[in-house]
Structure 1
């Protein structure tokens, strides 16, 4: 009987260790995940059985009470540890949202005005990146309006693995220093990765704080800087902003880059953004550096 008891205790220890390493917190707790919950239940069952077979009859009740107390202590320690870790991850991303509090999103999602309103939430960041990398005024904003409707948590509509404000594919995102969820290293369509991303955003209920840490394509500032660098590099490579926009969309610029749907759309949204930004007092942009602004206007 004692041998059987030792076997059960040993099994409970193995399961407990497996749970600790799989959940990455100090102990198991029912409810963290299905896998963790099942392992926790079996751990407690084996622990109780082990104590039952090891103990004398008159001590069995006391031992079971002690085991229950130990199990409860594990749960009490594990739950706060898990929540603290979760809160830290969320706080790290939320500190960098830098949303424009004046921007109000009231227009329908698919409309040009709706795209503008959502993109304008990130006006300060996008202004900064256009200045820093000497991009034409509004081009980064027009690109965001075209690619994601100004929605940093948007996934590509056809599920090809593109994600975020600027619809980066995994390989390109990694090349520009962004952390990417999963193992995909494609620069073109990756349906499997697209499915993986859909499951990810559903799992975290479209929580920006969580998702921006897990996959930096969802991080507004980091993805905006990556997109600005990408456009700047393509401009240097091809000598034209229209060709740079075309290359951003399809890898290499189209022969008639200025006439493509993508480039025309970005230019239209760029113009719309700049006009609204200038004329409407509700959307008065922050003043940019005069020298940088002049450089951008010369390059248009």
Structure 2
């Protein structure tokens, strides 16, 4: 074998070995990138519970369609991470209020998840005209004794809107005798839900073909119940101190016309914006009582936080005052005063 041939074979062998090494290094790097997760990321394994209840009623998870629908909503809301995290944070503030009212009204506690899927526990407005924590339409809200006017909208009042929701749910329960159907009727309406059952010869939510929104409605409630009862299981590790805490209030009765609510806010040591944040049912900077209201001894309750934050305007005013004092002090110092004669 000639020297040139030997040299060629050696070079080919070296190139082959180098190629193998490079391929192995690339494969290891790629594998590492795929399996190494950033800090704080939770690789969540989602598995539908073997048994589950809603309002004390068994969910028929032996039905594969039911199981898949539950699984779908779990996946959607677990991996909608920022939105679900914020709902968990808000629940620390609002669930105690909602749960107490549900107990007082003898409505199952699981109905709090209806408020979760309706509004995310926020005072939101929908394009359809439904407003507040429980997303009441104006006509329905008035039917269940919520006041709506130019100055007041009690759909944005957490306590009063929850009471109104309880009235609806109890009336629906008298009709259906089943809390799962009651919850579904909150979305579809009592008449719509009743028609669907009658037309399909069914008595269970899980047996009725419905429009897409109502067909998903209960499964969304189930998913949030499972996630919010076991947040760490699904990667939501949110310490108590990072959640939004309940607020301690003084309750101030209002029984006469107030022409400037912002002045009232100043009286209680807060900004108008802060007062509105804690009393979102107030729509304007005034509250009017007519003769009929006064005769009937009508009254509103204003929630005033026990420790409201100092208005930033006050901070700026104090800073401006200090700045003015400093400037005045500088200008009146003898060694800073320049005599015009000296300049000449």
Structure number with the higher strand fraction is 2
TM-score by length of 1: 0.42
Indicate the structure (1 or 2) with the bigger Cα radius of gyration: 2
TM-score by length of 2: 0.37
Structure number with the higher helix fraction is 1
